[in-house]
Amino acid sequence: MTHRIVIVGGGAGGLELATRLGQRLGKRRQAEIILVDSHLTHMWKPLLHEVAAGSLNQSENEFNYIAQAKWKHFQFQIGRMCGLDRKGRTIELEPLLNEDGSQAAPARRLAYDTLVMAIGSVTNDFGTPGAAEHCIFLDAPEQAERFHRQLLAKYLAAHAGSDTEAELRIAIVGAGATGVELAAELRNAAQQLSDYGLGNIAPGNLHITVLDSGKRVLPALPERISRDAHQTLEQLGVQVVTGAAVGRVTAEQLETKDGRVFPASLKVWAAGIKAPDFLQGLDGLETNRINQLVTRTTLQTTLDDDIFVLGDCAACPMDDGSDKNVPPRAQAAHQQASLLAQSLPRRLRGEPLPTYRYRDYGSLVSLSRFSAVGSLMGNLMGTVKVEGWLARMFYISLYRMHQVALCGFFRTGLLMLSDRIGRRTDPRLKLH
């Protein structure tokens, strides 16, 4: 029988791996490649803050799994994994439901010879009272779209009323890349909405507050870059509050553990991540405190050689002798997908597997059209700070590299041309 490789999760790493293996093994019928995801389309997760602000149209920046599977010689199965039988080498998928909640298809099992877990991460609210009920998380496109609809509804309600000096308060919990980028994008959206005539909430009356329990914004980046980003946000009129651990969330406000209160009618939680809860104790596999599956440097789980893990749901040890794990970043998922695209064909041939060594090429943060900051790292140049237009170009290139990995240089070139044409014919902000 043909060896069956099942990849669960169609995020950046999972879809890139399915594409590479489909071209390398599926096209030659050397293996059967199956990608499983609970959605029909893929969107690059670092773009979700732009969808939330309305500066990016989700439908124009999605990859359809079914079409990608046809073009790149793998299969796609829609479903959400909920269980694992390691002895029988099957995964269990939840029932498929229609929009009205009725069952479209029953729960089912899918057999595998090699299983790759690439299901990513979700926001970790650390059990904060009221966070799940009153905050929006940005884990998926539908959540970003939900925030955008609520934002637009506030502006339309103000536009329909008689108050020409209406105010809107937005609070963002978490001053990492997502929180900082969203704050800057919302400041840009405020100006765009005013330009389109929705000026009852003037740009200066959109009050944005970013709160974080840490000492500074962007803690993963060097301090000088963090300082520049902090100053840029303040220049844009964003209130940045560090050392503020949120202890409770209500419909009207955020309350910090030291007693401070921040009123907000729209609230986003962007502080911390964890792997999905169902991974904890998944048929005996080893997990850590944030539900990540523990792996060896070959990306195989510690207790089962037939199961590999990549991306944010993997607790993979660093190769520097420390007790730290590889950070949950997009570049790590891309590197791990590239490694497994080599490892799995070698495994089919009975050859030894290479080990994963994380390489940090730096970090880039977009501050909308206003600026971008970051650091680039390399063997020859060391660590180089970049900002402004140059940093913005490097930031955009990360997404283009992801597109190239999925559809090649020619189609990516066509997508870039389409984007350029669209900027001249479409509104600068999504208004529906």
Is 248 in the same domain as 260? yes
- Tens place of pLDDT for every residue, the chain, 432 residues? 799 999 999 999 999 999 999 999 999 999 999 999 999 999 989 889 999 999 888 877 889 999 999 999 999 999 999 999 999 999 999 998 888 888 888 899 999 999 999 999 999 999 999 999 999 999 999 999 999 999 999 999 999 987 778 899 999 999 999 999 999 999 999 999 999 888 889 999 999 999 999 999 998 888 888 998 999 999 999 999 999 999 999 999 999 999 999 999 999 999 999 999 999 989 999 999 999 999 999 999 999 999 999 999 999 999 877 788 999 988 899 999 999 999 999 999 999 999 999 988 877 888 888 877 777 765 444 566 676 666 777 777 887 888 888 888 888 888 778 777 776 667 777 777
Q: What is the CATH number of the domain that holds 109?
A: 3.50.50.60
The answer as to whether 356 is a domain residue is no
Please report the pLDDT score of residue 421 as a whole number.
75
Total domains in the chain come to 3
Domain-located, residue 170: yes
Distance from C-alpha of 338 to C-alpha of 356, rounded to nearest angstrom: 10
- Domain boundary (348, 373, 407) is at 348
pLDDT for res 71: 95
Q: What is the pLDDT of residue 78?
A: 94
Q: What's the confidence (pLDDT) of residue 339?
A: 97
Residue 78 within a domain: yes
Domain end (from 251, 271, 291): 271
Q: Quote the pLDDT of residue 380.
A: 46
- For residue 262, being part of any structural domain is answered with yes
pLDDT at 57: 84
Distance CA 385, CA 375 (A): 4
In this structure, is residue 353 part of a structural domain?
A: no
Express each pLDDT in 170-218 by its tens digit.
999 999 999 999 999 999 999 999 998 888 899 999 999 999 999 999 9
pLDDT tens-digit readout, 377-419: 654 445 666 766 667 777 778 878 888 888 888 888 887 787 7
Instruction: Give Cβ neighbours of residue 133 (< 8 Å, ≥ 6 apart).
Output: 249
Are 339 and 419 found together in one domain?
A: no
* Strand runs labelled E in 56-149: 63-64, 75-78, 81-85, 90-93, 96-97, 103-105, 108-111, 114-117, 122-123, 136-137
Is residue 357 in some structural domain?
no
Spell out the alpha helix ranges (H) of 240-287: none
Query: What pLDDT does residue 387 have?
Result: 66
Domain span at 255 = 131-271
Residue type, 144: A
Q: Is 2 exposed, middle or buried (0-12, 13-18, 19+ CB in 10 A)?
A: exposed
Give the pLDDT score at 419: 77
Give the pLDDT of residue 142: 94
